[in-house]
Amino acid sequence: MTIGRIIEGRDTVLTCQVSNTVREAVEILAERRIGALPVLDGESLAGMFSERDVIYRLREFGPSVLDKPVSDVMTAPAVTVESLTSVMTALAMMTRRRIRHLPVMDGERMIGMVSIGDLVKYRIDKVESEAAAMRDYIQMA
């Protein structure tokens, strides 16, 4: 299974621009109850802004960080995958890099995003399906 199949038919991904303030980006995270936003510079992916970025920078700079541009606090460059990347490769990358969100790229253009939850759900569904097939096989024997 590829990442492209996982994101098939999804709506567009919420993003913010490098010029948005941290306060504006935090508002989007809180309002939509999401953990991360891809940060764009025009149409190009510049980085990722996550809850972790907020926490780390609040500790470092205090509340004044809320008025800084997202470009000052985002994680850059963003770790990305292509649509043909396998689910297991993406899961391994996320585990190794300790990240929870991956923008999906088609060349220089972002076409979607997957979370570790998306990939774990796929794996659980697959394991449950294989277990059911094995039970059916055993019962038929």
Residue 125 belongs to what domain range?
1-138
The model's confidence at residue 123, banded by pLDDT at 50, 70 and 90, is confident
pTM over 0.75: yes
Domain count, the chain: 1
Share of the chain above pLDDT 70, in %: 99
Identity of the residue numbered 5? R
Burial category of 141 from C-beta neighbours within 10 Å (exposed 0-12, middle 13-18, buried 19 and up): exposed
Amino acid 5: pLDDT: 93
User: What CATH number is attached to the domain comprising 32?
Assistant: 3.10.580.10
Q: Identify the pLDDT of residue 135.
A: 85
Question: What CA–CA distance (Å, rounded) separates 119 from 102?
Answer: 11
Element containing residue 119 per DSSP (H, E):
helix 116-140
What one-letter code names the amino acid at 71? S
